[in-house]
A and B are shown apart, each in its own frame.
Chain A
Amino acid sequence: MAELLFWPALLCYGEAAVGYLGDVRRPGLAGRAATWGVRVGWLAQTALLAVQAARDHGFPWGTWASSLALFVWLVVSAYLIWGCRRPYRLLGLAVMPLAAVLLVVARIGGGTGAASVSRYSSAFLVLHVGLVLAAFAGFTLAAALSALYVWEEGRLKTRPATILSRQMPALATLDALALRTVAWSLPLLTLGIAVGLVRLIGRDARFDALIAATVATWLVWAAYLALRVAAGWAGRRAAYLALAGFALVVLVRLALPATHFA
């Protein structure tokens, strides 16, 4: 069953990624088809996660690969909030190829099929993994908004005659949305890390590289929030900082996972 649901989800995400690329060249049908790809793919992946949860009687995302699949679902869910609106379609160009690639990585790691056996209690996993992944999904979206900001700002600077040919969100809107997304995500990460640390201290476990990178990620995003709110950072500088924060999210999600789940 999981097999039957994985492929439609991947195909739809892939179609969406290609569709958004087509939308850049010629706005219209390709963009609409891509948005439907996101919707249908999200439904298929939601069903896949439900099947996994039902099969494993609880929270089946205790492995690195399965949590990556959940992360993809969270990112696409967050994107769907804005992605259906026409001015934000271009966000899909950043989000959907990433979602498709990460879903493939999750599958290669066995996160979308076979039952996962967790060494942790369900309550701990729901709180820790759920909170951290939700925060990372938010950061991913904020980074996509920031990438779109940098791209659009560059276009405004170079003044092409086609600058108004495409319906795009305003720079100020992108900037404000990125800030709002981070303001929601950082408390989630803070709570997720706190739950993890409580567990770590209780079990007298080792402080590994993944935890260190996650704390570094928290620091960057906390700095982002502080600089924006207290020091009045905005615009391109803030967008670059968000992209740096996202680089750490990628590092935590992809480069260092084995040390934590081993």
Chain B
Amino acid sequence: MRLVLVGTSHHHAPVELRERVALKREQAQALAARLAEVAAEAAVLSTCNRTELYLAAEDAEAAESAAVGALAELEPEVESALYRLNDRAAAHHLFRVAAGLDSLVPGEGEILGQVRLAHELGTTGPLLDRAFRQALHVGRKVRAETAVGESPSSVSAAAAALAEQVFGGLEGRSILLLGAGKVSEQAARNLRSRGAEIALVADSRTGRDEIAGRLAEVDVVIASTNAPDVVLDAPVVAEALRGRRGRQLLLVDLAVPRDLDPAIRGLDGCYLYDIDDLEGIVSETLAGRRREAQRAEGFVAVEAEKFHEWHASLDVVPAIASLRARAEEIRTAELQKADSLLGRLDDSQRRAVEAVTAQIVNKLLHLPTVRMKQAAAAADGVLYAEAVRHLFGLGEDER
């Protein structure tokens, strides 16, 4: 059984092309079921950055052409942007995808759930089950043992991470939004998803006194107005801080020109970050993610090798099973032949004879079993399996 992958991603196709082969959940499930009629197993991974078809089939070429055909049906132009991988390379790619190493932002976490969903919606069997389970294992391992997915990858996520750095859990913390630009909305959404609440969204109609009053209560201020001048100056913040009794205040200025007076930085008990600070943080954390991705590649390579060994061993497993069955058959038959002699033995002596003969068979077959598995990993598995079948006459009885 061969593992076949045909797909396209943000590395090979622009968004205009990708969006035409992107599949909804039901469509992905239906396509997997349809492809499984040609191949033995099929799964479809479709996200905003990639559409990939994984198939397990005896005839790799037929499976590949069915997969290419299915994607070309959706969009003929995609054919030139497709990559086609088989067996070890296909598994290695799937593991990289699950680990987030092939993503636009290295280590992003969403892909792991999407791989899980592709597995659940697929028409899978032993080969794809094993490949996807191992991919999910690699994805979890990489995130647990490296920091590839830990740090924020956008300005809004960096603002939320900073708030957590100051306050810990954000449950019950309150936010004051000055203006409502797209980035500040994203930042507020990020904070809200962590349990914070929006206390006030201030716009040009909101009075300065009201804003100043709220400053004493809220924990985070996100500013993103179109105002040409500073909206909040240092004396106002200083006054508000006096009423906070040492409680910290985080101010995030996402506006250009800036909304918050830079002199606020000099005040005790508050932390002011502007857009340059946040972009610097994101740039640094992305560099950190890329460094960690190098480590993660090592984990992926090890798992891909394990998968390859397992996959290759499938070629020799039937021959090993037949060989062991034949040996056991001979052992049992010979013991039965000697039954007249063994009948004189008591139960414990009989058990000892059983154990010794079984041990002899196991020891004799141990090395050939190991060697066959090694040969399978080195691509000679089929030859060895044939040789064993020939030498021991396996399967001849059935012919």
Q: Mark B161-190, 1 if CB is under 8 A from A, else 0.
A: 110111111000000000000000000000
Instruction: Render A113-136 as a binary contact track against B, CB cut-off 8 A, 1 for contact.
Output: 000000000000000000000000
Counting chain A CB atoms within 10 Å of each CB, the highest count among B162, B165, B268, B283 belongs to: B165
Chain A positions within 8 Å of B268 at CB level: 235-236
- Indicate if A157 sits at the interface (CB-CB under 8 A): yes
Task: Check B167 against A170 for contact (C-beta < 8 Å).
Answer: yes
**A195 proximal to B (CB < 8 A):** no
**Is the C-beta of A40 less than 8 angstroms from some C-beta in chain B?**
no
Q: Is the CB of B99 closer than 8 A to any CB of chain A?
A: no
Are B246 and A238 in touch, CB under 8 angstroms?
yes
B interface residue count range (under 10 / 10 to 19 / 20 to 34 / 35 or more): 20 to 34
Chain A residues 224-242 with CB under 8 Å of chain B are 232-238
Query: B186: shortest Cβ distance to chain A, in Å?
Result: 17
Query: Is the beta-carbon distance between A163 and B246 smaller than 8 angstroms?
Result: no
In the complex the two chains form, is A165's CB within 8 Å of B168's CB? no
Query: What is the bound-complex CA distance between A238 and B246, given in angstroms?
Result: 9
Residues of B within 8 A of A170 (CB): 164-169
Residues on A with C-beta less than 8 A from B283 are: 161
Q: Which residues of A contact B271 (CB under 8 A)?
A: 156-157, 159
CB proximity to B under 8 Å, residues A30-56: none
A170-B248 Cα distance, complex, nearest whole Å: 11
B277 contacts chain A at the CB level, 8 A cutoff: yes
Q: Is B273 an interface residue (CB 8 A)?
A: yes
Inter-chain contact A172/B166, CB cutoff 8 Å? yes
Interface centre among A169, A170, A237 (most CB of B within 10 A): A170
A233–B245 alpha-carbon span in the complex (Å): 6
Which residues of B254-291 are within 8 A (CB) of A? 265, 268-269, 271, 273, 277, 280-281, 283-285, 288
B56 at the interface (CB under 8 A from A): no
Stretch at the interface among B150-158, B202-210, B230-238, B314-322: B150-158
Cβ of B11 under 8 Å from chain A: no
| A163: nearest chain-B partner, CB-CB | B281
B267 → chain A closest CB, angstroms: 10
Residue of B nearest to A169 (CB): B168
Q: Are B284 and A162 in contact (CB under 8 A)?
A: yes
Q: How far is the CA of A237 from the CA of B285 in the complex (A)?
A: 31
Contact status B280-A161, CB under 8 Å = yes
Contacts of B280 in A (CB 8 A): 161
Contact A235 B269 (CB under 8 A): yes
Q: Are B168 and A237 in contact (CB under 8 A)?
A: no
List, in ascending order, chain A residues with CB within 8 A of B152's CB.
Answer: 164
Whole-angstrom distance from the CB of B49 to the nearest CB of chain A? 25
How far apart sit A235 and B164, CA to CA, in the bound complex (Å)? 16
Instruction: Tell yes or no: A244 within 8 A of B by CB.
Output: no
From 60 to 98 in chain A, residues with beta carbon under 8 angstroms from any chain B beta carbon are: none
Assembly CA distance A98 to B370 (angstroms): 55
Any A CB within 8 A of the CB of B306: no
Q: Are B284 and A156 in contact (CB under 8 A)?
A: no
Checking A165, A233, A237 against B288 with a beta-carbon cut-off of 8 angstroms, the contacting residue is A165
Q: Is B390 an interface residue, CB under 8 A from the partner?
A: no
Residues of A within 8 A of B269 (CB): 235-236
B231 to chain A, nearest CB (A): 20
For window 221-246 of B, CB contacts with A under 8 Å fall at 245-246
B166 pairs with A164, CB closer than 8 A? no
**Binary contact readout B129-154 vs A (1 if CB under 8 angstroms, 0 otherwise):** 00000000000000000010011100
Could you tell me if B246 and A159 are in contact, using CB atoms closer than 8 angstroms?
no
Q: Tell me if B366 is interfacial: C-beta within 8 Å of chain A.
A: no
CB pair A164 B281 closer than 8 Å: yes
Query: A163, B165: Cβ atoms under 8 Å?
Result: yes
* A172:B168 contact, CB within 8 angstroms: yes
On whether A233 and B165 interact (CB within 8 A), knowing A156-B271, A164-B151, A164-B158, the answer reads no
Q: Tell me the complex Cα distance, A170–B170, Å.
A: 11
Residues of chain A contacted by B285 (CB below 8 angstroms): 164-165
Q: Can you report 8 A-B residue pairs in the complex whose CB atoms are below 8 A from each other?
A: A164-B281, A165-B288, A170-B164, A171-B167, A172-B167, A233-B245, A235-B269, A236-B269
Chain A residues close to B by CB (< 8 Å): 27, 156-157, 159, 161-165, 167-173, 232-238
| A156-B165, A161-B284, A165-B151 known, 6 other contacts, Cβ within 8 Å | A164-B285, A167-B147, A169-B168, A171-B167, A233-B246, A234-B247
Shortest 5 CB-CB distances between A and B: which pairs?
A234-B246, A170-B168, A232-B245, A161-B280, A161-B284
